Amino acid sequence: MKMQYTLLLGLTLLLAYTPSMSQNWIKGTVETAKGEAVIGANIYLEDTYDGTSSDLEGRFLFQTGEKGAQILIASYLGFTDFKQTIDLEHDTLVISIVLRENAFELQNVVITAGAFEAGGEGKREVLKPLDILTTAGATGDIAGALNTLPGTQTVGESGRLFVRGGEGYETKTFIDGMQVMSFYSAAAPNTPGRSRFMPYMFSGTSFSTGGYSAEYGQALSSALILNSKFLATQNRTDISLMSVGADVGLTRAWENASLVGKVQYTNLDPYMGLINQGIEWVDAPTSGEVSLAFRQKISSSGILKLFGNFNQTDFSLDRRDLLDPTQKTRTTIGNQYLYLNGIVQEVVGEDWTLKGGLSYTRSDDDIRLNEVVVAEEEAGLHAKLILSKTFSNNTALKIGAEYFDRQFVQHYHQSTDLFSNQYDFHERLGALFVESDIYLTSSLLARAGLRSEYSALNQRFHLAPRLSLALKTSAKGQVSIAYGRFQQAAERRWLMVANDLGAEKADHYILNYQLSDKGRTFRTEIFQKDYRDLVKFLPGAGQLATDFSNTGMGYAHGLELFWRDSKSLRNVDYWVSYSYLDTERNYQDFSAQVSPHFASKHNLSVVYKHFLNPIKSQVGFTYTFASGRPYDDPNAAGFMNQRTPIYQDLSANLSYLFRQNIIVHLSASNVLGLDQIFGYEFAHAMDETGRYPSKAIRPPAKRFLFLGVFITLSKEKTMNQLPNL
């Protein structure tokens, strides 16, 4: 199966490679009057279909068959159109475009409510790959780095993103706008999973904690948007030798196409043998991964982007029974995963931009618990089509449609009593959305959107309005408000036994203030979330749930603070995040409305990075604090009646430029060796003393240590992986 997936991915990319013959080329850059790159500007020849959009560095390149004198136009929302007559008698024309702000953009107002902007790259841009891979304690994991931002919860036994009182499944991930199913790798019970994708395959990470665009649906709490890289410009080979495995990356660039491939092998058996573990591993996690990204200019104004990821993970461990520790349950899990993504973008008609995408996800799990075998198969298809246009210097419109098709099957077999069962569902969902940005005045921007969805599984129709306003209050400060209605299909573990369950819903209300100066950002935000139609059920015999309904409800409100400063201290970049959260729910098998087990009232993160130029190094520290989380102790009266100890962690890392093309990287989590408890698990029955035995849920080891050597081979012999580390 693994070989079939890999061959399918390789053939898909090879068939897409159709290099075109060049005639006349126009290339250059688009910048503001302040010298800042303009991302996504439309550049084209008047009265032709020849054109393109500027990339993340403001660069553009397109081909044309036109000759002689032509008018080149560049346009971008909030700026006056650039027009210049050019002569196309040469093979290649290089031009630098400077866009001037118009009356509606003098205040540079943007939507910030619920849309995090810390990196300054865009309206939601928050962390670059460099930020993710140099944040101590994140261990190169996308979710690990985002957990240092306000609005997130420290849930160490999961490793997922829990946002503003929402569960981990309420955060959905998109690559170039296309949904990713099963974003996290398979993990042992009460041990954190990691995001499946390598951060350096992406140009940046956008993170919306609420109030996000009508383009994104089926996400109850937040949207994580990964933007894949544009055309690579240089050939290179990257080799990584790590304490947990190795990987090799290959980049090939042509005139109008590029291919990036990465193969990674991870084996934790040697590492687990050296570091004492709180888990009885039989076979520690072993995984193999292949990632490919292909980019092709398909016309003078069009681009094709293909992305693929395949990985396989296997592990096995013994778990001791809490009532009788001499009894063990052997848990063996194998997972195969495939994700394919294709995007085509083209300028059509009267300056409309057409973007179409298709993604496919498949995840197969083979789970064995002694004599019990569970096989789970999930496959999903997502198709999207968007038309967008800037009608004037102060108005933009986006119209789109998308379709989701998801199938899930679980086969259950117990050999001791020859019992077998099967659960499944097939979900089809269609959606339409429209959204417009309008500069009402030079300092007031409005974004209004409406999303409609229809689910064939439960035959229900939903409307979800979205509205945001941003008011510039000073040269560096602004206030934003946002409202949005969001819905999401119930989790698959409930849908497979109750196909008629409706969508869960939440209303978001957000008030934000942000103050930005060069190299400094301060923001504060208050929010209110009202949950309704959550899944609710009664426990039945054998711990199986019965009587499913959408009668659950809840709320979450809180205050968040963020400060990032890369200017005040020389060669230092740091940020401080604080979140206060008050949330309660009455859902699933809860007997009352209480704070759920994943919610802590207070969360604090301090990230510090220092660049030591004389010794060609960077050192980093991350301190994380979380107040105690509630849990239910069956030995005490009440429900959710206890709280865990406070959580604290101090992590550190060091990157050293050994040679121009060789980097040595060392990181360690919990350097102080603090006892970290995420919660407690209890036996399903009482012991001879009349109590339920329990066990604290801790990390597999007090510390996680990582050592890596990263080598880059290129023609210039001066390139390295520092942007990745």
Position 33 confidence tier, pLDDT thresholds 50, 70, 90: confident
CATH number of the domain bearing residue 62: 2.60.40.1120
Query: Looking at residue 489, what is its pLDDT?
Result: 95
On whether both 15 and 158 belong to a single domain, the answer is no
pLDDT digits (tens, 9 = 90+) for 243-264: 999 999 999 999 889 999 999 9
Q: Contact, 679 vs 629, CB < 8 A?
A: yes
On whether both 503 and 461 belong to a single domain, the answer is yes
On whether both 347 and 451 belong to a single domain, the answer is yes
* Tokens read off for 193: 């999973």
Q: Contact, 193 vs 169, CB < 8 A?
A: no
109 falls within a domain: no
Q: How far apart are CA 475 and CA 471, in angstroms?
A: 11
Q: Is the pLDDT of residue 340 over 70?
A: yes
* Averaged pLDDT for residues 525-548: 84
Query: Looking at residue 129, what is its pLDDT?
Result: 63
119 falls within a domain: no
244 falls within a domain: no
Query: Looking at residue 112, what is its pLDDT?
Result: 61
Quote the radius of gyration of the chain (alpha carbons, Å).
26
Please give the mean pLDDT across all residues of the chain. 86
* Averaged pLDDT for residues 487-502: 93
On whether both 97 and 139 belong to a single domain, the answer is no
Query: Looking at residue 363, what is its pLDDT?
Result: 96
* Averaged pLDDT for residues 36-62: 81
Burial track 169-180 (b if 16+ CB lie within 10 A, e otherwise): bbbbbbbbbbbb
Residue showing tokens 């989790």? 491
Q: Is the pLDDT of residue 221 over 60?
A: yes
CA nearest to 694, candidates 326, 328, 322, 325: 322
266 vs 419, residue with greater confidence: 266
Q: Is the pLDDT of residue 22 over 50?
A: no
On whether both 65 and 194 belong to a single domain, the answer is no
* Tokens read off for 149: 């931002």
| Residue spans of beta strands (DSSP E) within 236-327 | 236-242, 245-253, 257-267, 280-297, 303-320
CA nearest to 408, candidates 429, 422, 396: 422
* Averaged pLDDT for residues 155-162: 90
106 falls within a domain: no
9 falls within a domain: yes
Position 722 confidence tier, pLDDT thresholds 50, 70, 90: low
Q: How far apart are CA 196 and CA 309, in angstroms?
A: 9
Q: Is the pLDDT of residue 6 over 60?
A: no
Domain extent, residue 456, equals: 125-229+251-724
Q: Which residues contact 527 (CB under 8 A, 6 or more apart)?
A: 114, 164, 209, 210, 508, 509, 510, 511, 556, 557, 558, 560
Position 42 confidence tier, pLDDT thresholds 50, 70, 90: confident
Query: Looking at residue 237, what is its pLDDT?
Result: 92
* Averaged pLDDT for residues 414-437: 90
Last residue of a domain, one of 101, 116, 138: 101
pLDDT digits (tens, 9 = 90+) for 610-630: 989 888 889 999 999 999 999
On whether both 455 and 553 belong to a single domain, the answer is yes
Selection from 79-83, 131-135, 284-288 with the highest mean pLDDT: 284-288
Backbone angles phi, psi at 220, to 5 degrees: -80, -30
Residue showing tokens 């994104």? 216
Q: How far apart are CA 351 and CA 344, in angstroms?
A: 16
Position 544 confidence tier, pLDDT thresholds 50, 70, 90: low
| Residue spans of beta strands (DSSP E) within 566-716 | 572-586, 602-612, 617-626, 630-631, 642-643, 647-659, 662-668, 679-682, 694-697, 705-713
On whether both 70 and 201 belong to a single domain, the answer is no
Overall number of domains in the chain: 2
On whether both 57 and 177 belong to a single domain, the answer is no
Query: Looking at residue 122, what is its pLDDT?
Result: 37
Q: Contact, 667 vs 651, CB < 8 A?
A: yes
Q: Is the pLDDT of residue 454 over 70?
A: yes
On whether both 532 and 410 belong to a single domain, the answer is yes
Query: Looking at residue 30, what is its pLDDT?
Result: 92
CATH number of the domain bearing residue 497: 2.40.170.20
Q: Could you tell me what percentage of the chain is helix, strand and coil, using 3-state DSSP and rounding each to the nearest 5?
A: 5, 60, 35
Position 62 confidence tier, pLDDT thresholds 50, 70, 90: confident
- How many CB atoms lie under 10 A from the CB of residue 20? 14
234 falls within a domain: no
114 falls within a domain: no
Percent of the chain whose predicted confidence (pLDDT) is above 90: 56
Query: Looking at residue 107, what is its pLDDT?
Result: 42
Query: Looking at residue 714, what is its pLDDT?
Result: 80
On whether both 137 and 81 belong to a single domain, the answer is no
Query: Looking at residue 17, what is its pLDDT?
Result: 39
Position 718 confidence tier, pLDDT thresholds 50, 70, 90: low
Q: Contact, 476 vs 192, CB < 8 A?
A: no
116 falls within a domain: no
On whether both 87 and 137 belong to a single domain, the answer is no
Q: Is the pLDDT of residue 442 over 70?
A: yes
On whether both 83 and 136 belong to a single domain, the answer is no
Q: How far apart are CA 276 and CA 313, in angstroms?
A: 22
